């Protein structure tokens, strides 16, 4: 201990232009800036030096300059912890460059924390150390089983890669060690999320100056040019071939270079390594799935030359020093500037023996990011990178100066003890549930979702609880955490034990908050009151007149009005007698009279009741009692109105056993939200490219399970209509997140509680939540057109085979038929997650209209054609009905554009005939009326001559549903 303090006079730093002596100009400036800052300021100091410029030497020098007694060094990874330990144990850079003169070769005592610090004694075990090196994963007091260091144990804290400082596991090293001085070292003192680093930026050394003083080697970019729509395998193979050439070139001129091959997904690293091995290179894949010992063994082999390179996602990342890494192959480039600069800086280091210029290899069509300007041929990379980075940093410095020109103002305060429930006003809006158990633990609630309960009231007489909650969050106009808005809301809960009805009124009407509340009070054992029962809030009202009514289309995929709102005086009179065949009640809002008094009332199929305005707590409780009495009354007397022409659905008691498919809500199709999938390497996509598959109704018919995801990531979800939340996911699954318009993310199962799926049966009845709507079938509905196909030499039980395209599967047989047709403009193979159909075919019709044919294939359930296997048609019925939405021209164009464009995940729907540009051009030239849609269900397992009554009924329902949307359905079957 006290090594740095006692030897401070032996550290004499000076600038030198001679290689191997003294320090670089930027290093000297950083040390002077640190010393000056801590003379008068206790705020954390931020030092910005370019990647590879020598931050570790400055960190070691700072320990002497600041006369530290015991130092804590925080690094982000185990690999960097090991590297930093070697540097501090030897101080070789400072000694070799003549800036540190030690007697008797005494060196500092270095402690390393490589396991969770769960006791104070674990810190005290390093009492004799001069410097302790740790990662947040092992030492962050934010972790539940980690204790903070004793007060005063460290007087200096150094953070390598300090741009992480605002992170949850890094920030406590500043907050919980207030007596220590804090220095944050980073190459990029700005963050993508806009959150500023704690403390002050006391020194910034421009990357351009470092380039000019030859602190970095030359960086060359090799562009691999391929056709615009090259496949993922074609791109990878071309990059491998170019990497082999570059590596051989460098080796032949005596350079001991190594390859770092970057891919975007852990699962892709293994197959990619095999491609390099097949090309003659010694390459292994490294990922977070390997143990630290296995990673260290691979690193050793790489350093000793037993390996030519490694394939990884982001292993050996920030701050890692390996000068022999001189050839980078980017199968997936970083999307943002910060990691790009760090990555490039690692290859530009000049401290290696027998090394030359660095080379970056990438395919331009793979690049669509903030950094894509860097990946262009013919550019002088060293200067271009410096200019881009310095321009970005100057903007951050200017912003910091503007912020500091403002002075602090006053702070708000709140006295919750003085809040009187008599003065509170709540909205006349109720979420109505049936609870199958009495609420418990109402007085123990501490949070409702993210909202903190700051005060509660209880009425035993009225069996009600009132909660005042607070939401602490940064305002939308600030990305920092130093300004917090405190927003307050109210929740009122009232329970009726005789009828098990639960009412909730709140000023913050979000489904996730309702779910959080009922999960805690009744363990989620509730369901919204079905509309068939809730509409009884009209019980006893005469002279009804409705200002607004909602008509919900009962077709699963209506391409006409999906939800029609009729508004105005006596809106219910606008309901026609024929509307009942297509629509059911969605909501109503109007007035009526009871006991000579007028009343305004509204209700919806989502289990909500409302009226106008806000009212006091006693008046709201009385209103709840009135509504409860009407809903639970044995005698029902609802006055006549135009609503009588519309069905209002049935209570879903048991899930139909023949539930075969599910589809997104209509709002989802309109908004198409962004989804984020995976953990270690996240992928962004859109919700409509996910599939809802493998629906299985459980034996008790009280719940069902389904899978949601794509070909790479999926999540198994359970839907239980009589519980809240209705959608839950099992543990230990890859996350699938949905991003809202304001950037907030939620798990897909949480999002589904706000945007519930539409499930439908083989007979095309639908249910959402706990309300079932039966579809009225048109008189005389038939099974549609049957087209008999010759399936000779086709393996009719096999739908597709991706590994052997010569196999005569159902899809291959159909593909040959489609490509043999004349006058077809384009054929798209769309068979993957989120498909419109397996094949999309476009052609001009004889009458001048444009025909879009969608083909859905299914392998037969037996070796021979039959007319009895209902499983042969279940999935096809669901696919056929869902795909009718693509007769809307805008929907079709959006789908074709999105699906036929190569993305970073490798998914693309290729054109088997025609081109993308030509197809989009012809579609965009059409008027909506020009489009004519035909859906084909391809099932060689069906015998046209032997269809039994069950199959005919199911096929007729599908045909009727498709025909109702002005489309056609054709079944391609066997004789």
838 or 874, greater pLDDT: 838
CB 551 within 8 A of CB 646: yes
CB 254 within 8 A of CB 668: no
Cα dist from 437 to 420, 702, 703, whole Å: 31, 17, 19
What is the tens place of the pLDDT at every residue in 349-361?
A: 555 567 888 888 8
Cα–Cα dist 662/696, whole Å: 11
399 or 521, greater pLDDT: 521
Percentage above 90 pLDDT, the chain = 44
Q: Does the pLDDT of residue 9 top 60, yes or no?
A: yes
DSSP E strands, 581-673: 583-594, 597-604, 608-616, 650-651, 659-663
CA 339 to chain centre: 20
CB 160 within 8 A of CB 100: no
179-188, 669-678, 775-784, 911-920: which has the highest mean pLDDT? 911-920
Q: Does the pLDDT of residue 620 top 80, yes or no?
A: yes
- The whole-number average pLDDT for the span 323-336 is 78
Which residues, 6+ apart, have CB-to-CB distance to 299 below 8 Å? 79, 316
Cα dist from 773 to 559, 760, 834, whole Å: 18, 9, 26
Q: Which of 38-47, 237-246, 471-480 has the lowest mean pLDDT?
A: 471-480
- Residue 447 bridge partners (DSSP): 452
Kind and range of the H or E run holding 747: strand 745-747
Question: Does the N-terminal peptide bond of residue 725 adopt cis geometry, omega within 30 degrees of 0?
Answer: yes
Percentage above 70 pLDDT, the chain = 87
What is the tens place of the pLDDT at every residue in 407-441?
A: 333 334 456 877 878 778 999 999 999 998 899 88
- Residue 840 bridge partners (DSSP): 828, 854
What is the tens place of the pLDDT at every residue in 680-723?
A: 667 888 888 898 989 999 999 999 999 998 878 889 999 999 88
DSSP state of 198: S
Token pair recorded at residue 361: 């290899």
What is the tens place of the pLDDT at every residue in 730-770?
A: 888 888 999 877 677 889 998 998 889 989 888 888 898 88
Q: Spell out a b/e string for 673-682, using b for 16 or more CB atoms within 10 Å of the CB, else e.
A: bbbbbbeebe
pLDDT band at 316 (very low <50, low <70, confident <90, very high): low
What is the tens place of the pLDDT at every residue in 470-487?
A: 998 777 777 666 677 888
Cα dist from 695 to 702, 714, 716, 717, whole Å: 14, 13, 10, 10
- What's the confidence (pLDDT) of residue 553? 76
pLDDT band at 275 (very low <50, low <70, confident <90, very high): very high
What is the tens place of the pLDDT at every residue in 285-303?
A: 988 788 878 888 998 899 8
3-state SS, one letter per residue, for 439-486: CCCHHHCCEECCEEEEEEEEECCCCEEEEEEEEEECCCCCCCCCCCEE
Q: Does the pLDDT of residue 613 top 70, yes or no?
A: yes
Cα–Cα dist 295/365, whole Å: 32
CB 433 within 8 A of CB 534: no
What is the tens place of the pLDDT at every residue in 165-210?
A: 888 889 999 999 999 999 999 987 766 565 678 888 899 998 778 8
- The whole-number average pLDDT for the span 215-226 is 78
pLDDT band at 225 (very low <50, low <70, confident <90, very high): confident
- The whole-number average pLDDT for the span 244-253 is 94
Q: Does the pLDDT of residue 500 top 90, yes or no?
A: yes
- The whole-number average pLDDT for the span 507-522 is 91
Q: Does the pLDDT of residue 372 top 60, yes or no?
A: no
- Residue 743 bridge partners (DSSP): none
- What's the confidence (pLDDT) of residue 651? 82
pLDDT band at 934 (very low <50, low <70, confident <90, very high): very high
pLDDT band at 678 (very low <50, low <70, confident <90, very high): confident
Cα dist from 748 to 144, 690, 716, 907, 952, whole Å: 27, 11, 11, 21, 37
Token pair recorded at residue 389: 């980075």
Kind and range of the H or E run holding 133: strand 131-134
Angle between helical axes of 292-303 and 78-90 (0-180°, round to 10): 60
- What's the confidence (pLDDT) of residue 901? 87
Q: Does the pLDDT of residue 49 top 60, yes or no?
A: yes
What is the tens place of the pLDDT at every residue in 781-819?
A: 566 689 999 999 999 999 998 788 788 999 999 999 999
Half-sphere exposure of 836 (CA within 13 A, CB side): 30
- The whole-number average pLDDT for the span 61-74 is 96
Total Cβ atoms within 10 A of residue 639: 17
DSSP for 518-550, written as a single string: HHHHHTT-EEEPPHHHHGGGGTT-EEEEEEEEE
Q: Does the pLDDT of residue 370 top 80, yes or no?
A: no
Exposure of 309 by Cβ count < 10 A (0-12 exposed, 13-18 middle, 19+ buried)?
buried
CB 392 within 8 A of CB 337: yes
Q: Which residue, among 75, 71, 73, has the nearest Cα to 161 in the 3D structure?
A: 75
CA 758 to chain centre: 22
Would you say the C-alpha torsion 264, 269, 274, 276 has a positive or negative sign?
Answer: positive
Cα dist from 563 to 111, 205, 558, 819, whole Å: 67, 60, 9, 40
- The whole-number average pLDDT for the span 345-373 is 64
- What's the confidence (pLDDT) of residue 389? 57
- What's the confidence (pLDDT) of residue 403? 40
895 or 227, greater pLDDT: 895
- What's the confidence (pLDDT) of residue 406? 37
Q: Does the pLDDT of residue 384 top 80, yes or no?
A: no
Cα–Cα dist 894/885, whole Å: 12
DSSP state of 644: G
Q: Does the pLDDT of residue 134 top 60, yes or no?
A: yes
- The whole-number average pLDDT for the span 67-88 is 92
371 or 607, greater pLDDT: 607
575 or 320, greater pLDDT: 575
pLDDT band at 319 (very low <50, low <70, confident <90, very high): very low
Token pair recorded at residue 185: 């070292």
- What's the confidence (pLDDT) of residue 374? 47
pLDDT band at 871 (very low <50, low <70, confident <90, very high): confident
């Amino acid at each position: 201990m006290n090594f740095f303090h006692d030897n401070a006079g032996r550290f004499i730093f000076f600038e030198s232009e001679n290689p191997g002596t003294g320090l670089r100009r930027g290093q000297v400036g950083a040390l002077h800036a640190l010393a000056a800052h801590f003379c008068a300021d206790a705020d954390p100091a931020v030092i910005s030096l370019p990647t590879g410029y020598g931050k570790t030497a400055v960190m070691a020098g700072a320990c002497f300059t600041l006369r530290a007694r015991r130092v804590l060094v925080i690094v982000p990874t185990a690999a960097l912890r090991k590297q930093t330990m070697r540097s501090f144990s030897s101080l070789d850079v400072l000694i070799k460059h003549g800036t540190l003169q030690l007697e008797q070769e005494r060196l500092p005592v270095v402690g390393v924390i490589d396991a969770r610090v769960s006791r104070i004694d674990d810190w005290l075990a390093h009492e004799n150390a001069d410097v302790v090196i740790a990662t947040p994963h092992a030492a962050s007091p934010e972790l539940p089983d980690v204790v903070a260091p004793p007060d005063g144990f460290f007087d200096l804290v150094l953070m390598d890669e300090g741009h992480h400082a605002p992170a949850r596991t890094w920030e406590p090293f500043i907050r919980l060690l207030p007596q220590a001085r804090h220095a944050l070292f980073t190459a990029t003192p700005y963050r993508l999320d806009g959150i500023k680093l704690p403390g002050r930026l006391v020194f910034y050394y421009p990357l351009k100056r470092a380039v000019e003083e030859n602190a970095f080697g030359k960086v060359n970019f090799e562009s691999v040019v391929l056709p615009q729509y090259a496949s993922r395998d074609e791109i990878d193979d071309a990059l491998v071939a170019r990497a082999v050439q570059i590596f051989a070139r460098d080796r032949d001129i005596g350079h001991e270079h190594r390859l770092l091959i970057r891919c975007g997904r852990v699962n892709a690293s293994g197959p990619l390594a095999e491609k390099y091995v097949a090309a003659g290179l010694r390459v292994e894949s490294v990922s977070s799935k390997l143990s630290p010992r296995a990673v260290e063994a691979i690193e050793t082999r790489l350093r000793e030359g037993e390996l030519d390179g490694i394939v990884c996602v982001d292993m050996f990342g920030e701050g890692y020093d390996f000068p022999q890494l001189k050839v980078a192959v980017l199968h997936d480039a970083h999307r943002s500037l910060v990691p790009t600069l760090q990555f490039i800086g690692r290859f530009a280091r000049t401290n290696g023996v027998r090394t030359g210029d660095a080379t970056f290899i990438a395919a331009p069509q793979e690049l669509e990011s903030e950094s894509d300007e860097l990946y262009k041929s013919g550019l002088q990379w060293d200067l271009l990178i410096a200019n881009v980075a310095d321009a970005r940093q100057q903007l951050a410095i200017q912003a910091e100066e503007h912020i500091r020109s403002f002075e602090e103002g006053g702070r708000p305060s709140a006295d919750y003890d003085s809040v009187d429930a008599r003065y509170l006003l709540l909205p006349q809006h109720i979420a109505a549930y049936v609870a199958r158990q009495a609420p418990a633990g109402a007085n123990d609630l501490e949070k409702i979702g993210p909202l903190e309960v700051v005060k509660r009231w209880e009425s035993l007489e009225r069996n009600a609880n009132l909660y005042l909650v607070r939401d602490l969050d940064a305002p939308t106009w600030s990305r920092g955490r130093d300004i917090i808005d405190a927003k307050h809301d109210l929740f009122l809960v009232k329970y009726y034990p005789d009828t098990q009805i639960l009412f909730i009124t709140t000023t913050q009407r979000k489904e996730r908050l309702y779910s959080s509340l009922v999960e805690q009070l009744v363990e989620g054992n509730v369901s919204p009151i079905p509309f068939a029962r809730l509409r009884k809030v009209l019980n006893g009202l005469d002279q009804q007149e409705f200002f607004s009514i909602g008509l919900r289309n009962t077709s699963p995929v209506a391409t006409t009005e999906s939800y029609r709102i009729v508004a105005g005086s006596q809106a219910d009179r606008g309901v026609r007698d024929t509307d009942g065949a297509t629509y059911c009640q969605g909501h109503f809002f109007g007035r009526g009279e009871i006991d000579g008094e007028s009343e305004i009332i509204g209700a919806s199929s989502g289990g909500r009741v409302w009226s106008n305005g806000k009212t006091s707590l006693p008046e709201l409780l009385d209103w709840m009692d009135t509504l409860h009495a009407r809903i639970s009354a044995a005698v029902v007397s609802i006055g006549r109105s135009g609503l009588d022409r519309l069905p209002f659905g049935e209570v879903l008691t048991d899930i139909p056993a023949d539930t075969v498919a599910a589809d997104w809500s209509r709002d989802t199709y309109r908004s198409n939200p962004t989804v984020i999938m995976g953990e270690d390497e996240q992928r962004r996509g859109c919700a409509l490219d996910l599939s809802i598959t493998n629906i299985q109704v459980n034996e008790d018919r009280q719940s069902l399970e389904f899978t949601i995801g794509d070909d790479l990531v999926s999540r198994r979800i359970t839907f239980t209509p009589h519980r809240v939340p209705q959608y839950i996911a099992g543990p230990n699954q890859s996350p699938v997140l949905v991003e809202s318009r304001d950037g907030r993310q939620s798990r897909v199962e949480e999002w589904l509680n706000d945007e519930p799926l539409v499930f439908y049966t083989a007979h095309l009845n639908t249910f959402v939540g706990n309300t079932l709507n039966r579809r009225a079938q048109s008189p005389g509905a038939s099974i549609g057109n049957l087209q008999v196909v010759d399936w000779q030499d086709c393996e009719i039980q096999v739908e597709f085979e991706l590994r052997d395209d010569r196999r005569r599967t159902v899809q291959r047989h159909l593909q040959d038929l489609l490509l043999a047709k004349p006058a077809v403009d384009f054929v798209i193979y769309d068979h993957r997650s989120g498909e419109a159909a397996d094949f999309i075919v476009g052609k001009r019709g004889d009458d001048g209209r444009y025909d879009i044919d969608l083909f859905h294939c299914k392998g037969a359930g037996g070796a021979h054609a039959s007319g009895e296997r209902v499983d042969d048609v279940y999935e096809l019925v669901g696919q056929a009905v869902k795909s009718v939405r693509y007769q809307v021209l805008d929907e079709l164009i959006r789908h074709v554009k999105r699906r036929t464009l190569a993305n970073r995940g490798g998914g693309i729907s290729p054109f088997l005939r025609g081109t993308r540009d030509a197809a989009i051009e012809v579609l965009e030239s059409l008027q909506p009326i020009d489009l004519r849609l035909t859906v084909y269900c391809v099932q060689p397992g069906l015998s046209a001559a032997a269809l039994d009554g069950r199959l005919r009924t199911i096929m007729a329902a599908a045909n009727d549903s498709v025909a109702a949307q002005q489309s056609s359905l054709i079944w391609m079957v066997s004789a």
